[in-house]
């Protein structure tokens, strides 16, 4: 046997990715069903438009979501926690940039009981003052810890530079923002936004009986008056900047380099995705090879393209030894320049093509993961044809196309740098 010869590999021709089954739970509630898995568990995610875009002042959406379990008409916070824990369930409530999500993880056998508890949260939260004070206090303490971390400072600073300090995606928070919250803010927000409508994603090992239970349960929810909520219009003119935030003491500097970019639905997005993989989107990326594997400046460096409903950005992030910070920033720009000036070589291009095809298969590993991927498509009006087209593009893309794309979307003068260091 010749160990220097790799075994033959087969590339993915198509991705066996099924659409979620779509049903109506009630007039205002659409549900997406993704069955799968071997274990008797169900995950139920409810997404509601009650985010930073809808709040009257900073933090209302986030703290409202955190307060949902802190007392309802029929249960104190403690009694509710006891009940949820008793069934081995977890209900997590979290504000994202475009939605708030209420996620129920439950054993299949306790679905009726745990759904009833989730209803309390969705319809009967009362926001007790005493619990709010504890949450605010704990959040402030956590903020103090975060403000000691260079990675936190650089990440929030980057978003503020890219979207604007008052923009829902860009704003940073301070202790006073927490202290300015009161129960009336939260109650009003909850009453106005939570009953409106919802999208529900159901995944795991459910049967028709379970769906019937969910259906009857959601039938009475989200029947609020469908007012048209006018979203504020955040006009922000982006100017690339270079910002250095000085921290009192540190061993590592946190570096963020990036800027606004094109939406998921844009015709050039596939090419940009491929460029992102090449520069920092996988373990073998150019930045990992250069900055970690050749120079040992960092434990990790990566790049991402993040898409929200009202904004998109490209971002390179890393934490490096403070004495090599300038050298690392320099290498980041060297690698970006290489993308814009040198066509990618054949062997690297083939490697990236193979890697992306395999990575797409990873996306359907298990019902929970597949559901997350489907939601990311449906949110933008896309469906699984997006991946079929992506595979075709990956197979056909040429070095020159990628070069042109880099020249168009990764211009040095369009990128913002934020560095937190001492």
Partner 1 sequence: MIAYNKYTLDNGLRVIVHEDESTPMAAVNLLYDVGARDETAEKTGFAHLFEHLMFGGSANIADFDTELQFAGGTSNAFTSSDITNYYNLLPAQNLETAFWLESDRMLNLDFSQQALDVQKKVVSEEFKQYFLNQPYGDAWHKVLKMCYKKHPYGWPVIGKNLEHISNFVLDDVVDFFNKHYCPNNAILAVTGGVKSEAVIELVKKWFGDISPSERTKRQLPVETIQTEKRSTIVKADVPLNALYMTFKTPPRNTQEFYIIDFISDIFSGGNSSRLHQALVKEQKLFNQIGAYVTGSIDPGLFLIEGKLNDDIALETAENAIWEEIEKLKTDLIGTEEITKVKHKIEAHIEFNQNKILNRAMDLCYFELLNNIELINTENEKYQKVDADVVKQVANVCLNKTKSSVLHYYANKN
C-alpha torsion angle, residues 360, 361, 364, 366 (rounded to 10)? -140
Residue 243 three-state SS? strand
Q: Is 187 in the site for partner 1 (CB under 8 A)?
A: no
Residue of 134, 220, 246, 341 interacting with partner 1 (CB under 8 A)? 134
The single residue listed with the structure tokens 């790049």 is 303
Tokens of 107: 């054993």
For residue 227, count CB atoms less than 10 angstroms from its CB and return exposed for 0-12, middle for 13-18, buried for 19 or more. Answer: exposed
C-alpha torsion angle, residues 393, 394, 397, 401 (rounded to 10)? 90
Residue of 53, 201, 297, 314 interacting with partner 1 (CB under 8 A)? 297
Residue of 24, 94, 137, 345 interacting with partner 1 (CB under 8 A)? 137
**Which of 288, 281, 275, 278 is CA-nearest to residue 410?**
275
Residue of 21, 57, 78, 337 interacting with partner 1 (CB under 8 A)? 78
Range 33-52, binding partner 1 (CB under 8 A): 36-41
Q: Is 176 in the site for partner 1 (CB under 8 A)?
A: no
Residue of 320, 329, 332, 403 interacting with partner 1 (CB under 8 A)? 320
The distance of closest approach from Cβ of residue 123 to partner 1 in the complex, given in angstroms and rounded to an integer, is 20
The single residue listed with the structure tokens 């979290």 is 94
CB closer to partner 1 out of 90 and 182: 90
CA distance 89 to 82: 10
The distance of closest approach from Cβ of residue 129 to partner 1 in the complex, given in angstroms and rounded to an integer, is 14
Range 108-127, binding partner 1 (CB under 8 A): 110
Residue of 16, 207, 235, 381 interacting with partner 1 (CB under 8 A)? 16
CA distances from 216 to 112, 116, 201, 273, 367 (A): 10, 11, 16, 42, 23
The distance of closest approach from Cβ of residue 202 to partner 1 in the complex, given in angstroms and rounded to an integer, is 15
For residue 72, give the DSSP letter.
B
Residue of 18, 21, 82, 408 interacting with partner 1 (CB under 8 A)? 82
Range 334-393, binding partner 1 (CB under 8 A): 350-351, 354-355, 357-359, 361-362, 364-366, 368
Question: Which ranges of 219-324 would DSSP assign to H, the alpha helix?
Answer: 269-276, 286-287
**Residues whose CB is less than 8 angstroms from the CB of residue 348 and which lie 6 or more positions away in sequence, other chains included:** 278
Q: Is 267 in the site for partner 1 (CB under 8 A)?
A: no
Residue of 55, 98, 161, 319 interacting with partner 1 (CB under 8 A)? 319
CB closer to partner 1 out of 5 and 267: 5
């Amino acid at each position: 046997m010749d160990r220097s010869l790799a075994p033959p590999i087969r590339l993915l021709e198509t991705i066996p990715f099924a659409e979620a089954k779509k049903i109506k739970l009630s007039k205002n509630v659409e549900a997406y069903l993704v069955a799968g898995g071997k274990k008797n568990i169900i995950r139920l995610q409810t997404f509601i438009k009650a985010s930073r875009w809808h709040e009257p002042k900073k933090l209302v959406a986030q703290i409202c979501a955190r307060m949902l379990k802190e007392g309802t008409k029929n249960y104190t916070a403690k009694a509710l926690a006891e009940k949820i824990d008793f069934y081995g369930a977890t209900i997590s409530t979290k504000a994202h940039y475009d939605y708030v999500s209420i996620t129920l993880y439950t054993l299949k056998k306790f679905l009726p009981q745990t759904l009833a508890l989730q209803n309390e949260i969705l319809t009967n939260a009362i926001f007790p003052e005493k619990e709010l004070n504890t949450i605010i206090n704990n959040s402030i303490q956590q903020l103090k810890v975060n403000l000691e971390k260079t990675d936190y400072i650089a990440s929030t600073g980057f978003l503020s530079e890219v979207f604007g300090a008052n923009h829902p995606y860009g704003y940073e928070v301070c202790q006073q923002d927490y202290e300015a919250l009161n129960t009336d803010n939260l109650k009003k927000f909850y009453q106005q936004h939570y009953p409106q409508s919802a999208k529900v994603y159901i995944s795991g090992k459910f049967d028709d009986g379970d769906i019937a239970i969910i259906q009857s349960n959601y039938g009475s929810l989200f029947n609020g008056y469908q007012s048209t909520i006018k979203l504020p219009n955040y006009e922000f003119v982006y100017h690339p900047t270079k910002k250095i935030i000085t921290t009192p003491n540190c061993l590592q500097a946190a570096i963020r380099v990036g800027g606004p970019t094109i939406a998921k639905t844009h015709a050039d997005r596939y090419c940009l995705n491929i460029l992102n993989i090449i520069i920092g989107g996988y373990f073998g990326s150019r930045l990992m090879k250069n900055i970690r594997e050749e120079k040992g400046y960092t434990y990790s460096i990566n790049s991402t393209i993040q898409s929200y409903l009202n904004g998109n950005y490209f971002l390179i992030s890393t934490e490096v030894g403070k004495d090599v910070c300038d050298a690392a920033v320099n290498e980041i720009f060297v690698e970006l320049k290489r993308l814009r000036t040198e066509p990618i070589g054949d062997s690297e291009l083939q490697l990236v093509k193979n890697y992306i095809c395999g990575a797409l298969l990873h996306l359907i590993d298990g019902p929970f993961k597949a559901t997350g991927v489907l939601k990311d498509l449906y949110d933008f009006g896309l469906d699984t044809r997006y991946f079929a087209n992506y595979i075709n593009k990956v197979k056909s893309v040429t070095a020159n196309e990628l070069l042109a794309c880099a020249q168009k979307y990764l211009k040095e003068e369009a990128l913002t740098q934020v560095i937190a260091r001492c």
